[in-house]
Amino acid sequence: MDLLINHFWELTITGLAIGAVYALVALGYTMVYGVLRLINFAHSEVFMWGSFAAVWALMAVGAGKASGLGLAGYLVIGFVAAMTVSALIAMLLERVAYRPLRKRNSPPLIALISAIGASFALSELMGLRDKPLGWFNLENLRDYLGRPRENLPLPLQIQTKAVFPVFNYDVTNIDLIVLLSAIVMMVILDQFIRRSRLGRGIRAVAMDPEAAALMGINRDRVIRLTFLIGGIMAGAAAMMYLLKIGVTRYNAGFILGVKAFTAAVLGGIGNIRGALLGGFVLGVAENYGSALFGSQWKDVVAFLLLVVILLFRPTGLLGESLGKARA
């Protein structure tokens, strides 16, 4: 208890920072669910591939200790690499694992199996990434890849600095970078969905696919766009995760994916603002929980919270707004 009280602000701020990562990944789950009524279980791997892309891109440009303008440059490179690769993987996933099934009007359960299969395939592909080197005589790339089933560290090193105090906690530059970039991404997305023509198309398809078609909205294009946006957000989250955690590995997506999915359900699946709220709530609750019961109980607290909230609000904190729209 003392730990929670003495470190309340530290736990809150760092909880918000990791919560921002959950929230951005949760967006991908919730938006795809909104337009397809499908849980894209392979979304965690979209995140994981983005994290590797950031690490490799930064290794390629020789990133090391950095500060000031140099740091800003490396951050841009890391974010762009992660977002690009995650977006590509997400679109590939839609093209290969879901669209063929959709065209044949498969039942939802089939798409779910396809999602789980795609998740394993993408994860193991990364976990076995050293194998193809021998086949193609690219052994000299081995140093870059790292040991395939172990942690790969982010080469970029940032000197942690206190930026400004919030009560008794000094917010660090890393917290600040993570939180600010998350907020920028969220505001852009929220405005895009609410105000732009394409954003309204996405909402229309989520509310009533048939009526949307009658308005002249191409559902396939909306679905592709949704995967693209989800991928971009997951890529941004991957770079933030690296800044906070410092390493990635082939199965880094698994627990994070489960947490992000939990955040989406917590906020109300299908609801974009719900996913954001759910992510932050989960991140903060986890931190408080680990302060109260010890960090090994962190995940237990997170999932107990989910169960308790769903007992009282079965459609999540903000309700399944798009689902209700179906009735």
Partner 1 sequence: MRVLLEVDDLCVNYGRIEAIRNVSFTVDEGEIVTLIGANGAGKTTTMKTVSGLRPVRLGSIRFQGKDITNMPAHDRPVLGIAQSPEGRGCFVGMSVLENLDMGAYARKDRKSPKVKEDLDRVFGLFPRLAERKSQVAGTMSGGEQQMLAIGRALMADPKLLLLDEPSMGLAPKLIQQIFDIVTEINKQGTTVLLVEQNAAQALKRAHRAYILETGEIVREGTGAELAADPAVKAAYLGGDT
Tokens 């983005």 -> residue: 50
**Of these, 103, 140, 197, 312, which contacts partner 1 (CB under 8 A)?**
197
CB of 197 to partner 1, least distance (A): 7
- From the list 4, 116, 245, 325, which residue makes contact with partner 1 (rule: CB under 8 A)? 325
Q: How far apart are CA 180 and CA 20, in angstroms?
A: 10
Q: Which is nearer to partner 1, 181 or 271 (CB)?
A: 271
Interface residues for partner 1 in 214-243 (CB under 8 A)? 214-219
Q: For partner 1, which is the closer residue by CB, 179 or 207? A: 207
User: Which lies closer to partner 1 via its Cβ, residue 166 or residue 214?
Assistant: 214
Q: Which of 213, 255, 300, 304 binds partner 1 (CB under 8 A)?
A: 213
Please pick, from the candidates 68, 104, 210, 312, the single residue that binds partner 1 as defined by CB under 8 A.
210
Please tell me the distance from the alpha carbon of residue 282 to that of residue 280, in angstroms, as a whole number: 5
The residue with tokens 């730990």 is: 3
By CB under 8 A, is residue 86 in contact with partner 1?
A: no
Which stretch in 70-78, 167-175, 213-221, 308-316 sits in contact with partner 1 by CB under 8 A?
213-221
Least distance to partner 1 from the beta carbon of 227, Å?
18
Paired tokens of 279: 């992510």
Q: Spell out the residues 6+ positions from residue 14 whose beta carbon is closer than 8 angstroms to its own.
A: 175, 287
Helix (H), strand (E) at residue 153: strand 152-153
Q: State the number of binding residues for partner 1 (CB under 8 A).
A: 21
Q: Which stretch binds partner 1 (CB under 8 A): 112-120, 133-141, 200-208, 309-317?
A: 200-208
Strands 157-158, 65-66: pairing is: parallel
222: Cβ contacts below 8 Å, ≥ 6 apart: 35, 198, 201, 202, 205, 212
Per CB under 8 A, the segment of 20-28, 208-216, 252-260, 288-296 that binds partner 1 is 208-216
- When the beta carbons of 187 and 211 are compared against partner 1, the nearer one is 211
User: For residues 285-324, which are near partner 1 according to CB under 8 A?
Assistant: 321-322, 324
196 binds partner 1 per the rule CB under 8 A: no
The stretch among 47-55, 66-74, 199-207, 232-240 that binds partner 1 (CB under 8 A) is 199-207
Closest contact distance (angstroms) between CB of 215 and partner 1 is: 5
Q: Rounded to whole angstroms, how far apart are CA atoms 228 and 87?
A: 5
- Give the ranges where the chain is alpha helix by DSSP (H): 2-6, 8-36, 43-60, 68-93, 99-103, 108-127, 131-136, 142-145, 173-195, 197-207, 209-214, 219-245, 252-267, 272-293, 298-312, 321-324
Structure tokens, 186 = 């969220």
Q: Quick one: which of 43, 203, 249, 259 contacts partner 1 (CB under 8 A)? A: 203
Contact 62, 319 (CB under 8 A): no
Instruction: Give every CB contact of residue 8 below 8 A, 6+ residues apart in sequence.
Output: 167
Kindly tell me the burial class for residue 307, based on how many C-beta atoms sit within 10 Å of its own C-beta (0-12, 13-18, 19 or more): exposed
User: Nearest approach, Cβ of 198 to partner 1 (angstroms)?
Assistant: 10
Q: Which residues bind partner 1 (CB under 8 A)?
A: 197, 200-201, 203-204, 207-208, 210-219, 321-322, 324-325
